[in-house]
Amino acid sequence: RLKKNRAYIIIGSFALGMVLTPPDVISQILIAIPIWLLFEAGLFFSPFFKVRKKNKTPTSADNEPQSNDWNDEAHNTMMDEIENEMNNKVLDDDKDD
């Protein structure tokens, strides 16, 4: 699709060069040509970057029920232990002062 519109891209790059530079033809060309070359490089390298389709077969991890960490008892127990340790350290630091 981009190859079909190549002529419009070339004209557009020169129009962009005309807008971005002062009214000097050399400056306009020096801006337009790199824009055009970047477009051509994109056309050249785009076949190397094809989008890979995802595998449609479900894996065993997809079939397992998802656990909610916030309701998990082991998680809550661990968080309570950490909170108690932190509170004990704060109390110990207050006693030292």
Mean pLDDT of the chain: 80
CA distance 23 to 28: 8
Of 41, 45, 39, nearest in space to 14 by CA: 39
Token pair of 65, please?
């029920």
CA angle 45, 51, 54 (to 5 degrees): 165
- pLDDT for the residue 21: 85
CA distance 34 to 30: 7
Quickly count helices (H) and strands (E) in the chain.
Answer: 4, 0
Token pair of 72, please?
């998990």
Question: pLDDT tens digit string along 61-88?
Answer: 556 556 555 567 777 888 899 999 998 8
Token pair of 73, please?
């008892």
Scanning the structure block, which residue is given the tokens 């995802």? Answer: 54
pLDDT at 10 over 70: yes
